[in-house]
Amino acid sequence: MNGMETFEALAGNPHIKDYFSRAFAGEKIPHALLLTGEAGSGKTMVARAFAARLQCEHPQGLSACGMCRSCKQMASGNHPDVITVEHEKPRSFGVEDIRGGLVNDMTIRPYASRYKVYLLDLGDLTITPEAQNAMLKTLEEPPSYGVLVIMTRNAEALLDTIRSRCVQLGMQPVPDETVRAMLAGKITTGADEDVIVSLARGNVGRALKLAASEDVAEVIAETLAALKNIRRMRADEMQAFTAGLKEKRDAVPEAFSIARFWYRDCLCLKADENAPIVLEKERRAIAAEAAERPAAELAGVFDAIGEAEARLAGNVTFEVAMEVLLMAMRGRGERTLWQK
C-alpha cells in the first residue's frame, strides 16, 4: 500500500485519532470537516487517511485494508470518488471553482463508492466570501454520501457561517522525541539532528523538509560559526557571511531561529550554569559568552533579532538589516563597520 496515507503513520496528535476512532465506531461520519494547522503539520495526511478509511471496502477500526480496489485507487492517487477541488486563479478560490468543483459536482452520486469525498486544500491561498457563501447550502444539507474536508492554516480567514457548520480539528505540535523518531535516517545533509529537531518545533513535515535541504545544512553550520566567532570577525568576514545567507534566502528564518537559541541559551546559562540548553553541542562557547556579557546586553541581542526580522519584512535592505544585527551581536557599542 505504497503511497496511501494512514492514521497509523500520523505522528502524535492522539486527539485526532481518538476523534476518528469514535466517529467510525459510532458510524457518525462528519459531512463537513475543517482541519487547521500550519504547513507540514499533517492536515493532508489526515484528510487522505480519513478518505481512504471512509471508502475502504474492508476497514478495521481506524485502518483501511490497503488491499481492496478503493485502497489501491487511493494509493495510486486516482480515486474517482475522492476529489480534489481545483482553482483557476493562481492565488485564490473563486465562486466558479466552488460551484463547478464542489457544489454542482456533489449533486452527482458517487461513481462506485459509498461516499464522495471532496478535499479543499486552502494552503496559503485565499477564498473569496462569495465562494464561501456558495458552499453554505452544501454544508447545511449535504447529500448522505457527500463529505467535504477543508484544510487551512488560518481558520480565522473563513466566515463564521462556514466554521460553525464544520467539525473543527486542529493539528498539534508533536513531542521532540517523536520528531526525532520520524527523522531517523532521513537527514541526508549531515546537519545536526538536535538542531533540526529544535528548528522543527514539533512539526514533522517541517522537520523532513529541513532534513533534506542542503541550504539549511549550510546555514546551520555558517550561523553557528558566526555566532561562535562574531566578536573576532573582520568586516569582510561578516560581509561574506551576510552574502552567503542572502543567497540562501529560504533558509534565513532558520538562521534567525538559531541565533535566538544561542542567546536564549546564553541567558539560561547565566541563570544556572547546569541548565539544559538547546545548542548542547555548543555549550562551551555559549558558557564563555554568558560569562563575559551582562544579562541585559544578551537580552538586548535577543530583541535585536526580532527587530532585524521586522526590518527585513519592511523595506530595509538585507545588508543593512544584517549589519545592524551583527553589530548588536558583537556588542562593545560599535555602530557600523562596512556601511559608512
What does the binding site for Zn ion look like in residue numbers (CB under 5 A)? Answer: 56, 64-65, 68, 71
| Least spacing, CB of residue 74 vs Zn ion, in Å | 8
Handedness of CA 55, 58, 64, 68 (dihedral sign): negative
Identity of residue 190:
G
| Least spacing, CB of residue 64 vs Zn ion, in Å | 5
**Which residue number, 64 or 191, has a Cβ lying nearer to Zn ion?**
64
Q: Please report, for residues 45, 109, 153, the alpha-carbon distance to residue 39 in angstroms, rounded to integers and kept in the order given.
A: 12, 32, 7
Q: What is the DSSP letter of 60?
A: B
| Least spacing, CB of residue 145 vs Zn ion, in Å | 18
* Residue 164 parent element (H or E): none
| Least spacing, CB of residue 113 vs Zn ion, in Å | 11
**Which residue number, 56 or 227, has a Cβ lying nearer to Zn ion?**
56
288-296, long-range: CB < 8 A, 24+ apart = 290/265, 290/266, 293/266, 293/331, 295/267, 295/270
**Which residue number, 60 or 104, has a Cβ lying nearer to Zn ion?**
60
- Per the DSSP assignment, residues forming a β-bridge with 196 are none
**Which residue number, 51 or 305, has a Cβ lying nearer to Zn ion?**
51
**Which residue number, 64 or 301, has a Cβ lying nearer to Zn ion?**
64
183-191, long-range: CB < 8 A, 24+ apart = 183/207, 183/208, 183/211, 186/211, 186/212, 187/211, 188/212, 189/213, 189/214, 189/216, 189/217, 190/217, 191/216, 191/217, 191/220, 191/221
**Which residue number, 56 or 117, has a Cβ lying nearer to Zn ion?**
56
| Least spacing, CB of residue 111 vs Zn ion, in Å | 16
| Least spacing, CB of residue 75 vs Zn ion, in Å | 10
- Answer for the pair 11, 171: CB distance below 8 angstroms, yes or no: no
| Least spacing, CB of residue 65 vs Zn ion, in Å | 3
**Which residue number, 47 or 312, has a Cβ lying nearer to Zn ion?**
47
Question: Closest Cα to residue 32, out of 129, 133, 124, 151?
Answer: 151
Handedness of CA 276, 279, 282, 287 (dihedral sign): negative
**Which residue number, 67 or 295, has a Cβ lying nearer to Zn ion?**
67
- Answer for the pair 53, 62: CB distance below 8 angstroms, yes or no: yes
| Least spacing, CB of residue 59 vs Zn ion, in Å | 6
Cell of 259: 541565533
